[in-house]
């Protein structure tokens, strides 16, 4: 049975240090997906998605991240592309 059906956050990550999060964070019956760097698709639309696939793809790319910060007015140190 899928984690969210059992009332837990469905954690997407390959890293072993994230294992304690699986089946330990309750959701009160909501479908919750937590992505920790994973871009694996799900076959349903969750009620809550923490770290969307789009956001993960942006944060993997330094240029896209700088562009997103600039659009949202987040200040950061100057960056000089090579």
DSSP state of 37: S
Would you kindly state where each structural domain of the chain is located, as residue ranges? 3-72
Give the pLDDT score at 8.
84
- Output the pTM of the full model: 0.70
- Rounded CA gap, 9 and 25, in Å? 6
Q: What is the pLDDT of residue 77?
A: 73
Asked whether residue 82 carries a pLDDT value surpassing 90, the answer given is no
Q: Are 33 and 10 in contact (CB under 8 A)?
A: yes
Partnered with residue 26 across adjacent β-strands are 8
Q: In this structure, what DSSP letter does residue 64 have?
A: H
Give pLDDT tens digits for 9-33: 899 998 999 988 888 888 888 889 9
End-to-end Cα distance, the chain: 49
């Amino acid at each position: 049975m899928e984690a969210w059906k059992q009332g837990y956050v469905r954690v997407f990550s390959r890293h072993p240090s994230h294992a304690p999060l699986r089946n330990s964070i309750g959701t009160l019956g909501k479908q919750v997906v937590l992505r920790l760097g994973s871009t694996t698709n799900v076959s349903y639309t969750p009620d809550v998605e923490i770290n969307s696939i789009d956001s993960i793809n942006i944060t993997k790319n330094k240029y896209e991240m700088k562009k997103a910060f600039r659009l949202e007015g987040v200040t950061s140190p100057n960056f000089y592309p090579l």
